[in-house]
Amino acid sequence: MRYPARALGLVLFLASALPATLAAQSSADAFRWYFGGDAGALVFETPTQTSGGIPAFGGHILVMSRRVGLQLGYETGWGDNETTAYPDATVLGGARSVTFDRTNRIYGTMVAYPVRWNFEPYLGLGYGISWLSGLEVAGPFANLDDQQAAMDEAEDRGSQGFGHFMAGAQIRAGSFVLFGQWMVTTGESGALLTGATHSVMGGARVNLGSAREDYDIR
């Protein structure tokens, strides 16, 4: 099979231009700060509830190098009288009932971008801390001290550290970066949230400028 000279010339041109284009794309957002906001759903399970989702919202700061970044974020899930429980031998049935309204977590993630282009997948690993708010502990209680002890126990079991894995993709749209991402966390035995939690979020990031100072040495 014979190829026209113009076609071969076009192929050679594209092959030579591609590395430069990728390098330009990679350097365009190298050493940059980004602020992002997102919304989606948080899926979790408790000892008294099967797996289900609630609306979730969050925000984060992303500091980019060339192919890696550090993402520091906060997410909150908004429920309404979500039920859970923890073991308590002083209660009939052996479990103390608890309700909560919101989940909260802060996290840090090291993110890698294996391909730098207009459409970019990314992967991340990190660690975070989660806690529940709007907690209410069901009685009966023998006295106020027992009630406070039960609340302290619920707050302790509602807070935990977690490791997490993140996977997502982003696409550039003018001065914004649109993204969607999924995060799965580890769980602790005996906590008010049991097993892994999952969040599926989508949102946008805006470039806040350079993350390093450039010095003019003369």
pLDDT digits (tens, 9 = 90+) for 146-205: 999 999 999 999 999 999 999 999 998 877 899 999 999 998 888 999 989 999 999 999
* Residue 199 located in a structural domain: yes
Classify burial at 57, counting beta carbons within 10 Å of its beta carbon; exposed 0-12, middle 13-18, buried 19 or more.
middle
Q: CA 71, CA 90: separation in Å to the nearest integer?
A: 44
Same domain for 57 and 82?
Answer: yes
In whole angstroms, give the CA distance from residue 132 to residue 73: 17
pTM of the predicted model as reported, rounded to 2 decimal places: 0.78
One domain for residues 91 and 191? yes
Task: Give the length of the chain.
Answer: 218
What is the predicted pLDDT for the residue at 212? Answer: 56
| 25 and 36 share one domain | no
Residue 146: Cβ within 10 Å count: 13
Do 90 and 196 lie in one domain? The reply is: yes
Do residues 189 and 148 lie in contact, with contact meaning Cβ atoms separated by under 8 Å?
Answer: no
Query: For 34-72, what is each residue's pLDDT tens digit?
Result: 999 999 999 999 999 998 999 999 999 999 887 899 999
Question: Is 216 a domain residue?
Answer: no
127 & 201 share domain = yes
Are 6 and 61 in a shared domain? no
H/E run at residue 118 = none
Claim to verify: residue 10 and residue 63 sit in the same structural domain: no
50 in the same domain as 16: no
